[in-house]
Each structure stands twice: as C-alpha cells, then as structure tokens.
Amino acid sequence: MGDDDVELEARLAEQDVFEPSEAFVEQANVADDAIYEEFEENWPECWQAAADLLSWDDDYDTVLDDSNPPFYEWFTGGELNASANCLDRHLDERGDEAAIEWVGEPVEEDDRTYTYAELHREVNEFAAALRDLGVGEDDVVTMYMPMIPELPIAMLACARIGAPHSVVFAGFSADALATRMNAADSEYLITCDGYYRRGDPLDHLQKANEGLAGVDHEVEATVVVDRLGPNGDGFGHDLKGTQHDYGDLVAANQGAEVDPVARDAEDMLFLMYTSGTTGQPKGVKHTTGGYLSWAAWTSQAVLDIEPDDTYFCSADIGWITGHSYIVYGPLALGTTTVMYEGTPDHPDKDRLWQIVDEYEATQLYTAPTAIRAFMKWGSEYPERHDLSSLRLLGTVGEPINPRAWKWYYKHIGNEQCPIVDTWWQTETGGMMVTTLPGVKDMKPGSAGPPLPGVDARIVDTEGEEVGAGRAGYLTVQKPWPGMLRTLYRNDERYIEEYWAEYSDTDSDDPDEWVYFPEDGAKIDDDGYITVLGRVDDVINVSGHRLGTMEIESAIVGVEGVAEAAVVGGDHEVKGEAVYAYVITEEGHAGDDDLRERIVAGVENAIGPIARPEQVIFTPELPKTRSGKIMRRLLEDIANGEELGDTSTLRNPEIVEEIRVQVQD
C-alpha cells in the first residue's frame, strides 16, 4: 500500500456518510428534495415528467393502463419514433455538435467524431439500405458487433424503420448467437469482419458464420462492417450470396432520407437476451415510449446529463447499460456520448484516464469490477492525467464495497464528484434505486433510496416488509414506465419468473402484483437500500450475469463428464468467479486434458466471460436426502468459509474431500 492509500484509509475509513459538494448541488438537474413527495402523491401521473422529455408524433391518452396486470401499458395511444428523438429533433440546435465521440483501439489512430448531423445522415442511409434488403416494421434484426460506431448507427437505423433490434454481446460465442437468433426468429444479422483486442486483430466474422450455420430458419441477409481494413484481409473472408458490405450499402444510399416510422408507445423498440435460472436465455422486451422516457429521465435526473456535457460510460453496448446509458438516454438528451473500443489496460492501465483527460469528460459511469482493478493497479495511473473535468461518477452492475467506493471518490473524483451507485437490471430498462446526486447524501456500499415514484420494498419470504437492518428480498410494488413488458413470445414465463413469487396471480387488482428481481437486500433507518446479491442461480462475474444452469449444461456436454454443479465464489476483481464441480464418467480421468476441454466447452457454448476459474473433480456432489445439490455448501467451499451444518446431507463425508482439493 502506498503512503497515499494509508492516508486515505485513515481519513475516509471512518466516514460513512458523504454530502454532495455545494458546487454540484448548485447546478444539479434535480436539487429539490420535494420531488420524492410530489411523485408519490401524484403517481402515476408524475411520469409525465419522463414522457415530456421526448417529442411525440401523437400525444398519449393515458399515462398508465393497469387493467391487465402484470401486462402494464404506459403512455397508451401515444406515437413516437426513437431515432427521431435521438437525432432529428436535435438537428436545428445541435447539428454541428458531437453526438458520438468514438475512441478506437489505438492501432490506426482512427478516432471518429460524429456530429448529430453526420450521425443523422448515416443512420438515414443505413435505414434506407435495410429497407432495400427487405427489413420491414417489426422484423427483429440481430446485431453481433463490438464497440464500433456502426453498432449504435444500426440500432438507430432499425428504430427509424420500426424494426426491433436484438444486440448480442460480441464476446458471446457462435452458439449463443444462434440460440438468440433462433429464439427471436431473426432473419437479419449485422456484424463485422473483426475488431482489435489489445492491439491484435480478431476474426469475428468466422464466429458469426459459425453462428449462422446454427440458425434453424432462413436468414434473409447479413451485413458486414469492414472494421479492420487491410488488417482483416488475412482472415480471407469473401462475402457471398446474402452477405453485404456495410460500406457499399451506405454508399449506394448516399443522401437518402427515410421518414421515421411513427411507432405506438407500446411497440417493441428492442429485445435483449439475458441469463436466467434455466438454460434458455430470456428475451426481455422493451418498448418505444416507456423505455425511452425512462432512459432519458434517469439520464437527466441521476447522471445529471445536460446537452453541453461530454458523458462517458465505459460499458459495452452489448449489455443493457450500453443501450440505456451510451445510446438511448444520452442521445435522447442531445448530449455528447463517448464510446471506446478495447480494454482499460491497453495500451496502458491509464486508458480510461487518458480518455477522460483528452475529451474532458464530465461524467464517468463504470462498474465496481473495473474500479477494483484500477485500485489494484494503483493511483499513479489516474494521477498521470487531468481529471478535473469530471463532475459526477457512477457505478452499476454489482454491489460496490466501501473501500472501492472511497478509492473512486478520492482518486478519480478528487472528493468533489458525487457517486451514484445505481441498482437496476436488464428487465427494469434503467435505474431504480440510487441517490439523486444533487439531493441525497451518499453512503458507500448502499445504493440509496428508491428513485422518486419507484416503490421498492424489502420483504420476507411471506411478502411482509422487514424492518431496518434485516436481510430480505428486494421487490418493486408498483409498475414503472421502463419496465420490461414480457419475455418475448413467452407471457407465461414472464409471470413465473418475475411475478409469481409475491403476487396473487389470479387477481386483476394491480395492488396484488409485486415484481421480484431476485436480489437479496436490506434497508436502513433512512430508507437506503443495500443490495446483497442474487438469490437465484445466477452469478455475477465482472458485472455480467451468467446462469449457472447454462454453464452446467455446457460442461455436461463435454465428453467424459457425468455431472456438474456451478457456483459463484468470491473474486477480488471480478466480484464473483465461476467454480465448477465436476463428476467424470466411468473410465475418464479428472486430468488436465479434461479440464482444458471443459474450459473450451464453456467458451464455445457461452463465451470467455463464463470461463471457470477452477474446475474441481469430485466423485460425488453434496446432496440432500431428497437429492438436491447443496449449492450453499459448494459456495462456502469455494470461498474457504466455515461450513455450516452438513448433517442433512446424504453424503456428508464428501464435503471434506472436496474442500481439500479446492485448497490445493
């Protein structure tokens, strides 16, 4: 530990409440505490404030239609287009201002700025091209792309013609791509030849092509962006048949204008697949009016975004954070959004600070896993740069421990920037629990109170509210505009996954319906919520959600494996890491060869993010007398913790055997 850290420790360690600076409060978008009461009294009409941030082609009649819970509808009767809201309406005032600052991997020095006028132009041209390819309203277009500008361009082009997008994280495997295209019956794919990772070109089209081979219906067209130029020629890809070059398509449509299609507020804007308890990913459906107003309102109220800002979120657009807080929220507000390709430690561990410095970023929104890595690398990296442009910091994705919070506060924010620790999910569309930075004090480790108008409560297994300090389950007891509307083509699973636990599912009374996000949490006397983590079989690796079942089925698919159980174990940087307990088949040794094949099997089925940290071979798994695997015990073993009562096990002796192996 450096002297610096010692000093920080001493001064900040004891402090558990932090006030936002006066300078911040004075300019904050929301600075009046009265908003909490106002929204409560005026619910659901209070959400007109969110809808008012958008431009509507046709006014809505009703704020909330809750006649058929949990199939809530927001801003019904209204019509709007998301692309027009993110582009066209800014042209007069901000046409020459930067919409996207793209920071490419520093291979070719090819950072790009898109002004609103330029972005509008390219979105129009690509929208025209998509139409020519046959994409119609409501056709789901899949995007399998890394952090290149053509990704948000493609998203906005789809939004313009009313075609919902389904973005698949580029780090996911070919199999994962095929599963998602199949689940959505998606007949169009937009991808690229490759991209750079730590300076080296990576063949992405090969993975995309493998994925396409696993699609069980006809694919009408694939569009390929040439990201690598001559550096990609070595991969030897030829586009044939229904594959088209993005650059050619845009050039052929030069100057084209496409009228934004007026979409019903409740029409689908996009699908996003996320991991759940079962092996099959869930297709979360988000709408045009509710989602976009939620993304815009939270961007303004929580991230304090104003048009003149240069806002930087370091997430990947392949996840919901990037959808809501790189693309839709910031662009709806007409600000400059920074997107970067690559990783925070290449070419050096000051990559993010170099970007903040160069672009004079005013906000930084990142994840606790990144902050823990920065902390480990040391404060000399941020100290190389001028970070004084920053006004606000944010985190998302997993709980942040107070030590990491304080490091972020001091070394990045210079004790001047409020930190918003934002709890939300793919399903919520945007932020739900966090401090309003100009209004509330901050408590490191606790996300904060629910946002105004959000009715989040902590309950016990019976659904009764628990008192301050006691652990319980986080619930949301009233609908909100940004909420998912259903799981795509699976209303039944939507009810089962999110509502069945605490609702009277036979009732038409919305008060009887309670949303359950499957997180544990506790609340303090001031109403601040501390999120404790998932209570289902989902683990959170570096802020990314992975279903243990998905990983288990990948492992069981490897030759020589009989059974597998996957749990999350604590990890210093990643938060949680994958621990796989594996039983081999008769005649197969639990050796390094099998271990390697298991790791490869998981990478092929899901992607490198799901790679097991440890593969532990065991003759048996600890099971209850009824045959259920005792995951808790496996977690305790992974974490080297004291083991609780094992007497209910059918095979208690196995526990010690496994433990010895993990410790080796």
Dump strand ranges (E) for 438-492. 456-459, 472-476
Please check whether residue 228 is in contact with residue 201, taking contact to mean a CB–CB distance below 8 angstroms: yes
Q: How far is the CB of 485 from ligand WT7 (least distance, A)?
A: 16
Select 359 or 424, whichever has its Cβ closest to ligand WT7: 424
- What does the per-residue mask of binding to ligand WT7 show for 569-608, with x meaning CB under 6 A? ----------------------------------------
d(CA 128, CA 272) in angstroms, rounded, equals 24
Nearest to 270 by CA among 284, 260, 259, 280: 284
Q: How far is the CB of 496 from ligand WT7 (least distance, A)?
A: 17
- Binding-site size for ligand WT7 (CB under 6 A) equals 23
Q: How far is the CB of 543 from ligand WT7 (least distance, A)?
A: 6
d(CA 266, CA 286) in angstroms, rounded, equals 9
Residue type, 365: Y
Please give the angle made by the CA atoms of 52, 54 and 59, to the nearest 5 degrees: 70
Please check whether residue 197 is in contact with residue 345, taking contact to mean a CB–CB distance below 8 angstroms: no
Report the DSSP beta bridge partners of residue 76.
62
Q: How far is the CB of 179 from ligand WT7 (least distance, A)?
A: 17
Please check whether residue 85 is in contact with residue 332, taking contact to mean a CB–CB distance below 8 angstroms: yes
Q: How far is the CB of 441 from ligand WT7 (least distance, A)?
A: 17
Q: How far is the CB of 389 from ligand WT7 (least distance, A)?
A: 24
Nearest to 84 by CA among 105, 52, 56: 56
With contacts defined by CB under 6 A, name the span among 60-68, 73-81, 257-265, 394-402 that binds ligand WT7. 394-402
Q: How far is the CB of 446 from ligand WT7 (least distance, A)?
A: 9
Residues 418-477 that bind ligand WT7 (CB under 6 A): 421-426, 447
φ and ψ of 173, to 5 deg: -80, 170
With contacts defined by CB under 6 A, name the span among 32-40, 217-225, 340-348, 392-400 that binds ligand WT7. 392-400
Select 291 or 423, whichever has its Cβ closest to ligand WT7: 423
Residues 320-379 that bind ligand WT7 (CB under 6 A): 320-321
Select 121 or 545, whichever has its Cβ closest to ligand WT7: 545
Nearest to 331 by CA among 167, 165, 97: 97
d(CA 82, CA 95) in angstroms, rounded, equals 17
Q: How far is the CB of 395 from ligand WT7 (least distance, A)?
A: 6
* Strands 336-340, 98-103: pairing kind: parallel
Select 253 or 321, whichever has its Cβ closest to ligand WT7: 321
> Does 405 help bind ligand WT7 (rule: CB under 6 A)?
no
| 596 CB-side CA count, 13 A | 3
d(CA 397, CA 367) in angstroms, rounded, equals 6
Select 162 or 399, whichever has its Cβ closest to ligand WT7: 399
How far, CA to CA in Å, does 635 sit from each of 53, 354, 522, 654, 655? Answer: 46, 39, 21, 15, 12
Select 24 or 423, whichever has its Cβ closest to ligand WT7: 423
- Judged by CB under 6 A, the residue of 397, 450, 453, 481 near ligand WT7 is 397
Q: How far is the CB of 642 from ligand WT7 (least distance, A)?
A: 25
Q: How far is the CB of 557 from ligand WT7 (least distance, A)?
A: 24
Residues 271-300 that bind ligand WT7 (CB under 6 A): 274
Please give the angle made by the CA atoms of 236, 239 and 243, to the nearest 5 degrees: 150
φ and ψ of 323, to 5 deg: -60, -55
- Judged by CB under 6 A, the residue of 120, 440, 545, 574 near ligand WT7 is 545
Q: How far is the CB of 169 from ligand WT7 (least distance, A)?
A: 10
- Judged by CB under 6 A, the residue of 398, 537, 550, 552 near ligand WT7 is 398
d(CA 214, CA 182) in angstroms, rounded, equals 9
Select 372 or 545, whichever has its Cβ closest to ligand WT7: 545
The two tokens of residue 320 are 């919901």
* Sign (positive or negative) of CA dihedral 294, 296, 299, 302: negative
Select 135 or 176, whichever has its Cβ closest to ligand WT7: 176
Select 108 or 524, whichever has its Cβ closest to ligand WT7: 524
- What does the per-residue mask of binding to ligand WT7 show for 301-320, with x meaning CB under 6 A? ------------------xx
Residues 210-229 that bind ligand WT7 (CB under 6 A): none
What residue spans of 269-308 are helical by DSSP H? Answer: 289-301
Select 334 or 568, whichever has its Cβ closest to ligand WT7: 568
- What does the per-residue mask of binding to ligand WT7 show for 504-543, with x meaning CB under 6 A? -------------x-x-----------x-xx-----x--x
Select 20 or 162, whichever has its Cβ closest to ligand WT7: 20
Q: How far is the CB of 339 from ligand WT7 (least distance, A)?
A: 16
Select 274 or 553, whichever has its Cβ closest to ligand WT7: 274
Nearest to 427 by CA among 339, 382, 494, 350: 494
Q: How far apart are the first and last CA of the chain?
A: 28
Q: How far is the CB of 639 from ligand WT7 (least distance, A)?
A: 18
Q: How far is the CB of 412 from ligand WT7 (least distance, A)?
A: 17
d(CA 379, CA 410) in angstroms, rounded, equals 10
DSSP 1-31: --HHHHHHHHHHTT---BPPPHHHHHH-S--
The two tokens of residue 11 are 């001064």
How far, CA to CA in Å, does 149 sit from each of 87, 95, 145? Answer: 15, 18, 10
Q: How far is the CB of 575 from ligand WT7 (least distance, A)?
A: 9
Dump strand ranges (E) for 353-413. 363-366, 392-396
Nearest to 296 by CA among 169, 139, 482, 158: 482
Select 130 or 420, whichever has its Cβ closest to ligand WT7: 420
- What does the per-residue mask of binding to ligand WT7 show for 130-159, with x meaning CB under 6 A? ------------------------------
Please give the angle made by the CA atoms of 303, 520 and 316, to the nearest 5 degrees: 40
Please check whether residue 207 is in contact with residue 224, taking contact to mean a CB–CB distance below 8 angstroms: no
Select 334 or 479, whichever has its Cβ closest to ligand WT7: 479
Q: How far is the CB of 531 from ligand WT7 (least distance, A)?
A: 4
Residue numbers at the binding site for ligand WT7 (CB under 6 A): 274, 319-321, 396-399, 421-426, 447, 517, 519, 531, 533-534, 540, 543, 545
